[in-house]
């Protein structure tokens, strides 16, 4: 079987992707067979196994025999689970200081199935505890908290724009993503029909253009290193936009938010995921939205 941890509030979307045969433990879903292509998930548990819990010490010993680093998913028997976790090596869960990339050390996940059995997966899709990516936030400079989505996407991507990078931020108002790109040293073409926050508009490498993101063509902007979009639009419209840019060959790296303004459209999600070399993820800082990423050969900081 394979385990899938749903983002908070989106268990139904995950279950719709998995179909029948799932076993649900709170927000953690186990489904038979190898991993399936799902997107409403924060952490995937690969090849989970059941271990007996004869005692606190024997359970911890069994986990340590598999590997060092473990994160508890606290779903039941909380007191017993906490005592086992305390017997395991400490794993730092300090918030990241951006710019940062995702940890490389393996982090397994485990949970109590019942009083005498635990389920553990040494290999998981996320290097973060239960897929929860936390940062030391900047509560003064960015005009809203949307910047956390771009921080997380870049940390996961493992590449970032830097000095000399030419970037575009579509749907930029009030400027959270523009601020991130500028702080990394990039030149930013910031596009929106609504204005930027004055402090963001005044940044030296920000070229704000008051117009619709969809009125632009690749030829209007020329070669780019990064195209970033948090624009509010129907997913179909965003898909047409990114395919136009991919076909133009004028941009190598994309990070775009797929925003659902009604029921989740699983078919359009699969169309984004089918774009060669790309991936669709639900970031910890996403809401009723997914993030599509295509990361090529970038100028990195």
Angle between helices 176-183 and 147-157 (to 10 degrees): 40
Residues found in the chain: 301
Which residues, 6 or more positions from 262, have their beta carbon under 8 angstroms from its beta carbon?
A: none
Angle at alpha carbon of residue 7, lines to 2 and 9, rounded to 5°: 125
Q: What are 117's strand-pairing partners?
A: 52, 114
Q: In 3-state terms, what secondary structure has residue 50?
A: strand
Active-site choice (57, 82, 210, 259)? 259
Angle at alpha carbon of residue 180, lines to 174 and 183, rounded to 5°: 120
Catalytic, 259? Answer yes
| Separation of alpha carbons 15 and 9, rounded Å | 12
CA 45 to chain centre: 16
| Separation of alpha carbons 108 and 155, rounded Å | 20
Would strands 117-121 and 49-52 be described as parallel, antiparallel, or unpaired? antiparallel
| Separation of alpha carbons 140 and 11, rounded Å | 34
Catalytic residues: 259
């Amino acid at each position: 079987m394979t385990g899938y941890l749903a983002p908070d509030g989106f268990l139904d979307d995950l279950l719709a992707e998995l179909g029948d045969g799932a076993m649900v433990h709170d927000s953690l879903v186990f489904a038979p067979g190898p991993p399936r292509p799902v997107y409403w998930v924060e952490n995937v548990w690969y090849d989970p196994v059941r271990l007996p819990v004869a005692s606190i010490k024997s359970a911890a010993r069994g986990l340590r025999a598999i590997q060092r680093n473990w994160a508890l998913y606290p779903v039941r028997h909380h007191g017993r689970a906490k005592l086992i976790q305390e017997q395991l090596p400490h794993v730092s869960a300090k918030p990241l200081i951006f710019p940062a990339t995702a940890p490389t050390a393996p982090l397994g996940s485990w949970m109590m199935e019942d009083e005498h059995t635990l389920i553990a997966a040494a290999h998981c899709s996320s290097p973060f505890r239960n897929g929860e990516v936390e940062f030391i936030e900047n509560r003064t400079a960015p005009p809203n908290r949307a910047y956390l989505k771009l921080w997380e996407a870049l940390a996961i991507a493992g590449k970032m724009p830097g000095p000399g990078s030419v970037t575009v931020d579509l749907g930029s108002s009030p400027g959270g993503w523009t601020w991130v790109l500028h702080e990394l040293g990039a030149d930013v073409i910031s596009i929106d029909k609504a204005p930027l926050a004055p402090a963001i508009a005044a940044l030296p490498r920000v070229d704000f253009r008051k117009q619709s993101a969809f009125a632009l063509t690749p030829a209007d902007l020329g070669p780019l290193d990064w195209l970033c979009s948090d624009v509010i639009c129907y997913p179909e419209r965003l898909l047409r936009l990114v395919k136009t840019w991919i076909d133009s060959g004028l941009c190598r790296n994309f990070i775009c938010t797929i925003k659902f303004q009604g029921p989740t459209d699983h078919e359009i999600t699969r169309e984004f995921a089918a774009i060669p070399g790309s991936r669709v993820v639900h970031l910890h800082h996403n809401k009723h939205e997914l993030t599509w990423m295509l990361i090529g050969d970038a100028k990195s900081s």
